[in-house]
Chain A
Amino acid sequence: MAATYDVAQVRDDFPILQRRLAGDLPLVYLDSANTSQKPRQVVDAIDAHYLAHNANVARAMHQLGAEASEAFELGRTKVAGFIGANRREEVVFTKNASEALNLVARVLGDAGAVGPGDEIVISQMEHHSNIVPWQLLAERTGATLRWFGLTPEGRLDLENDPIGERTKIVAVTWVSNMLGTINPVADLVARAKAVGAYSVVDASQAVPQVPVDLAALDADFVAFTGHKMVGPTGIGVLWGRYDLLASLPPFLGGGEMIETVTMERSTFAAPPARFEAGTPPIAQAVGLGAAVDYLSSLGMENVAAHEQAVTAYALERLLEIDGLTVVGPTEPVDRGGAISFTLDGVHPHDVAQLLDSKGVAVRAGHHCAKPAHACFGVQSTTRASFYLYTTEAEIDALVAAIWHTKKYFGA
């Protein structure tokens, strides 16, 4: 762990981590891949916006309107800087990562990017939000959906590469929300590029925990969400190469996305406004800007190093438990901070319930990744996921609660 990283000091920024649960138990929050907790700095920024600067953006001619517009656009500038975008206009605000992915799928389809005989390539470890929009696009256009399978270790089976000359779109996740696997996305983007296909990266679990440099990634589109990176809910990001965005038709029609409207037809604004119909998530953009500032102040290299250290410790401790099977890579190499597991003789919902009774919050179920579960012959798993405020003591609490669960169910 980096010497400069003080997890106790970080935790002081997150008042919720001091919460006591029923039975006066301390909260052990291990569900950050689901949604992260928010530091005081982010909540304060949203608070200050609503209490002192609230107005609609882009259309109000008054002082508050100017302040709100400036704050909203500053959020965009901060996000663009954080991910290394060439231009701030490449950052499109959506309501979440799902909407960002649906936006790309919809407008690429409307632009005629795929048709019968063409192929769209995804992988079997995708979140449902990076599967379903492509299935729908394939159905609409007559294109064929293909995918990378998984190795027994829970990595992409790169040997059996479905990318070929018919491939028009490659859409893959950077970090799996279920297996924790970090995929070689730059390599996959290069493979897509080599056959002239668009590349789309679901970075929902990556932007929160690894340093992102879009210039090095070289993808066409990247989607992520605010609430998993210490920001608020209600805001997601679609980043796209400016020339591409500028060549694509609009997504939703409405206010703010037009250039001019007559009763017969409309012309459309330049990106990003073209893809942001209606009143945008204004306070959320302010909050996301504060989240980006917070992460930058910690240093994403430090956040990643902390995540890596905590994950390595957790893997080591969890693998000591008889009857516990980690579904996903068991080595802390190219691996994010989400660990899904099964426990012999105890269903994941029952594991989660028992852990909750000890104050340990995890997620149980299919984690919106049913095909990935099917790959490993399991219907559901229990998932513990870590973040920049997770401590080794919390991992110890998790392990103790799992032993308690085993005893409780006689497993």
Chain B
Amino acid sequence: MNVDALYQEIILDHYKRPHGAGLRDGGDAEVHHVNPTCGDEITLRVHLDGDVVRDISYDAQGCSISQASASVLNDLVVGHTVAEGFTTLDAFQELMQGKGQVEPDEDVLEDGIAFAGVAQFPARVKCALLSWMAFKDAATQATGAQAAGKESS
């Protein structure tokens, strides 16, 4: 298997200069996700403005794939509604779990298409999905809290 398919230039760029890295104050939900088999960790906060994801801040420890994936997540989801974020997440997850058979849509995934090669390395799929699953969890909690807040007010 060609390792260059895994380590696309775009991925290495995101790894070296991750977008939106660091935890910022505030946020509507914070989660901590761990990949127990390899020890990769991410603490991620979702900052909402109504139903728009105003920011995703995160502190991640892990390999180039997991770090670059968190950076791409930040690019693709910040500024969009939670629902749009979940649609993008579905597309990214489909690509990752497609065993290299899924043709990615560049309009939806932008730099995320660089992860197409990761799908051919089953052991690394979980690295690419770590931050996305953390986002899903945090956004679900945040919107759940919002809904609960509306009901009680």
Residue among A347, A354, A364, A373 making CB contact with B3, cutoff 8 Å: A354
A-B interface contact total, Cβ < 8 Å: 46
**B64 lies within 8 A of chain A by Cβ:** yes
Residue among A22, A356, A380, A409 making CB contact with B39, cutoff 8 Å: A380
**A379 lies within 8 A of chain B by Cβ:** yes
**A34 lies within 8 A of chain B by Cβ:** no
**B121 lies within 8 A of chain A by Cβ:** yes
Given A347-B62, A348-B63, A379-B61, check contact A353 B39 (CB 8 Å): no
Given A347-B63, A349-B63, check contact A366 B3 (CB 8 Å): no
Between B1, B38, B61, the greatest number of chain A beta carbons within 10 A of the residue's beta carbon is seen for B38
Give Cα A356–Cα B41 distance, bound, in whole angstroms. 23
B39 contacts across to A, CB distance below 8 A: 365-366, 370, 373, 379-380
**B31 lies within 8 A of chain A by Cβ:** no
**A357 lies within 8 A of chain B by Cβ:** yes
Chain A residues 349 to 382 lying within 8 A of chain B, measured CB to CB, are 349-350, 353-354, 356-357, 364-366, 370, 373, 379-380
Give Cα A380–Cα B36 distance, bound, in whole angstroms. 12
> Majority SS of interface residues in chain A?
helix
Structural contact, A347 and B7, CB atoms closer than 8 A = no
**B127 lies within 8 A of chain A by Cβ:** yes
Give Cα A350–Cα B62 distance, bound, in whole angstroms. 10
**A50 lies within 8 A of chain B by Cβ:** no
Q: How far is the CB of A124 from chain B (nearest CB, A)?
A: 16
- Interface mask (A338-352 → B, CB under 8 Å = 1, otherwise 0): 000000000111100
**A408 lies within 8 A of chain B by Cβ:** yes
Residue among A350, A357, A408 making CB contact with B63, cutoff 8 Å: A350
**B65 lies within 8 A of chain A by Cβ:** yes
Residue among A349, A356, A409 making CB contact with B65, cutoff 8 Å: A349
Structural contact, A350 and B64, CB atoms closer than 8 A = yes
**B6 lies within 8 A of chain A by Cβ:** yes
B6 contacts across to A, CB distance below 8 A: 353
A408 contacts across to B, CB distance below 8 A: 7
- Interface mask (B123-143 → A, CB under 8 Å = 1, otherwise 0): 010010000000000000000
**B23 lies within 8 A of chain A by Cβ:** no
Q: How far is the CB of B49 from chain A (nearest CB, A)?
A: 33
A379 contacts across to B, CB distance below 8 A: 39-41, 61-62
13 interchain pairs, CB-CB under 8 A: A347-B64, A349-B65, A349-B127, A353-B6, A353-B121, A353-B124, A357-B1, A365-B38, A366-B39, A379-B39, A379-B40, A379-B61, A380-B39
| Chain B residues at the A interface, C-beta cutoff of 8 Å | 1-3, 6-7, 12, 37-41, 61-65, 67, 121, 124, 127
Closest 5 CB pairs of A and B: A349-B63, A357-B3, A347-B63, A366-B39, A365-B38
